[in-house]
């Protein structure tokens, strides 16, 4: 991985559903990640990338299925990468994106009430 970007938005350590009040800074971090999720094109991007044969895709792989322009797809990918949901791997002139499974799992865990966790 030549150029993997690190997440600028980290998930909070405590769930808003844990039975105790979430700190303001943690709420802001979680809201930033959830805002990245809260767009139909971004949800489709996550789905398309996860279902790709190698679990990764480039912008050129994603523009046609989404029906969006390359700059728009790149914008959404940047938001998902900055939220820590995707990793970016630069190979020559192409950048490939893949999900960060631990980030997705951490968000799911934060939103699962404690009594429903395994």
Report pLDDT digits (tens) over 7-43: 444 555 666 666 677 788 878 888 888 899 889 999 9
pLDDT of residue 12: 59
Structure tokens at 64: 């046609």
Residue 17 resides in a domain = no
pLDDT of residue 77: 97
Residue 67 resides in a domain = yes
pTM for the whole structure: 0.77
Residue 12 resides in a domain = no
Taking alpha carbons only, the member of 7, 77, 89 closest to residue 44 is 77
Between the alpha carbon of residue 28 and those of residues 34, 57, 59, the distances in Å are: 10, 30, 29
- The number of domains in the chain is 1
Residue 99 resides in a domain = yes
Look at 71 and 25; give whichever has higher pLDDT.
71
Provide the 3-class DSSP secondary structure of residue 63.
helix
Residue 85 resides in a domain = yes
Between the alpha carbon of residue 116 and those of residues 16, 17, 18, 104, 112, the distances in Å are: 14, 11, 11, 17, 7
Residue 33 belongs to domain spanning:
24-111
Residue 82 resides in a domain = yes
Report the CATH number that the domain containing residue 83 is assigned in CATH: 1.10.10.10
Residue 16 resides in a domain = no
What whole-number distance in Å separates Cα of residue 8 and Cα of residue 17? 24
Neighbours of 112 (CB within 10 A): 13
């Amino acid at each position: 991985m030549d150029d993997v970007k690190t997440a600028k938005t980290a998930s909070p350590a405590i769930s808003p559903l844990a039975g105790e009040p979430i700190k303001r800074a943690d709420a802001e971090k979680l809201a930033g990640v959830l805002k990245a999720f809260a767009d139909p094109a971004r949800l489709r991007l996550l789905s398309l990338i996860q279902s790709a044969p190698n679990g990764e895709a480039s912008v050129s792989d994603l523009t046609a299925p989404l029906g969006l322009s390359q700059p728009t797809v790149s914008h959404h990918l940047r938001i998902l990468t900055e939220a820590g949901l995707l990793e970016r791997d630069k190979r020559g002139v192409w950048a490939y994106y893949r999900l960060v499974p631990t980030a997705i799992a951490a968000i799911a865990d934060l939103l699962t009430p404690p009594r429903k966790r395994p």
